[in-house]
A and B are shown apart, each in its own frame.
Chain A
């Protein structure tokens, strides 16, 4: 999910001169024994590289993810909903920070990661390049997008790299409120007026397929997943997680009285799973390439927030310097 774009860039897959086969084997043996790898312990350069990219992309996704929901903070229909949405958006900022913190244990600096996001070099989850057009979108995001994220994040709690696994435990505890408030919001709309229910249906119509795309390409097109699985960074394949998400979510949609926009969606009694239709991968690739509805806006807002906040950072530094000088005197 947070490994979009990882595949193309990582060319150095052979161990370098400094990494002997013995070291690689010893490392793999630790991973196979379900031992956690901790900071400063020996690890293949490729393992470090792939984790830095994945964890930082995950962090960037949380930060950018604040924007589509932040869009509705001033227009929440009640004080209760406003307070809830504020708390959720604050959590997303916090999640980003846990993840930057975990990534830094691998030797990359916060400056470098933030710089890569602002320059456009770093990627973030494509789902956040879609707009929130109505209040119901907030419900759909909590229910579907956070739902998909949870599906991906629970196995990550057992990933081989200690700091990432522990950050995920913290995130998962907070994420379940995110999904529940979204579902509850949708429920209230579905039990409301005809117009409210229609708004909920419209949001589901627009967020369903992008949520399925969050799990990444089909396994057959995901050649480099194998190494992540061997290193126990990735525990389940894209298709496995996507299938689980559909199986879990389809009954929830039924309960809401909403129709999932997939004519091929059907419970298969033989397999015990839901069959579902083909994803339009051309849309996924367009959004990844920067041509989604909100890619440019997300980056502009992030850069503007960074620039507009400069005075706060400068003030904090000036204050710290002044106190240090006073204490030294």
Chain B
């Protein structure tokens, strides 16, 4: 018996209103609806979610960790994007 016809889906859960969906794990399923049901049964037995997303793993486009330094390099030395770069004298309020 093979799972060959059963693609892998990544599961994302919003635990309550106001929070974003977070990655919880994965399930194998024959189709999208089954993936949703499987995700509910596997990851929310204790009402851990108000919303579930399932996405086929092969549809996810991810950055390559091996390329991290080159990929994120532009941001690395722009320290002026941080508020701490700017010196505001004492006595100035609300800045």
Residues of chain A touching chain B, judged by Cβ–Cβ distance below 8 Å, are 38, 40-42, 87, 90-91, 94, 97-98, 101-102, 104, 109-111, 114, 163, 167, 170, 174, 306-307, 310, 313, 316-317, 319-320, 323-324
User: Can you name 22 A-B pairs with beta carbons within 8 Å?
Assistant: A38-B65, A40-B64, A41-B66, A42-B66, A90-B45, A91-B45, A94-B43, A94-B45, A98-B42, A101-B25, A109-B3, A110-B28, A163-B25, A167-B25, A170-B24, A306-B1, A310-B1, A316-B31, A316-B34, A319-B31, A320-B5, A324-B31
Q: Contacts of B43 on A, CB cut-off 8 Å?
A: 94
Contact B62 A111 (CB under 8 A): no
Interface size class of B (residues with CB under 8 A): 20 to 34
Q: Contacts of B5 on A, CB cut-off 8 Å?
A: 317, 320
Q: Contacts of B41 on A, CB cut-off 8 Å?
A: 94
Q: Contacts of A324 on B, CB cut-off 8 Å?
A: 31
Q: Which of B26, B29, B45 contacts A104 (CB 8 A)?
A: B26
Extra 15 A-B pairs, beta carbons < 8 Å, given A97-B27, A101-B25: A42-B65, A94-B42, A97-B42, A109-B3, A111-B3, A163-B25, A174-B45, A174-B46, A313-B30, A317-B6, A317-B30, A319-B30, A320-B5, A320-B30, A323-B31
Contact B27 A101 (CB under 8 A): yes
Residue of chain B at shortest CB distance from A38? B65
Q: Contacts of A111 on B, CB cut-off 8 Å?
A: 2-4
Contact A313 B66 (CB under 8 A): no
Q: Contacts of B54 on A, CB cut-off 8 Å?
A: none
Contact B3 A102 (CB under 8 A): no
Contact A316 B25 (CB under 8 A): no
Q: How far is the CA of A97 from the CA of B45 in the complex (A)?
A: 13
Contact B25 A102 (CB under 8 A): yes
Q: How far is the CA of A91 from the CA of B46 in the complex (A)?
A: 10
Contact B31 A320 (CB under 8 A): yes
Q: How far is the CA of A90 from the CA of B40 in the complex (A)?
A: 13
Contact A313 B45 (CB under 8 A): no
B20 → chain A, closest Cβ, in Å? 17
CB proximity to A under 8 Å, residues B8-63: 8, 24-31, 34, 41-43, 45-46, 62
Q: Contacts of B65 on A, CB cut-off 8 Å?
A: 38, 40-42
B69 → chain A, closest Cβ, in Å? 12
Q: Contacts of A97 on B, CB cut-off 8 Å?
A: 25, 27, 42
Q: How far is the CA of A26 from the CA of B75 in the complex (A)?
A: 23
B35 → chain A, closest Cβ, in Å? 10
Q: What are the 5 closest A-B residue pairs judged by CB atoms, nearest first?
A: A320-B31, A320-B30, A316-B30, A101-B25, A101-B26
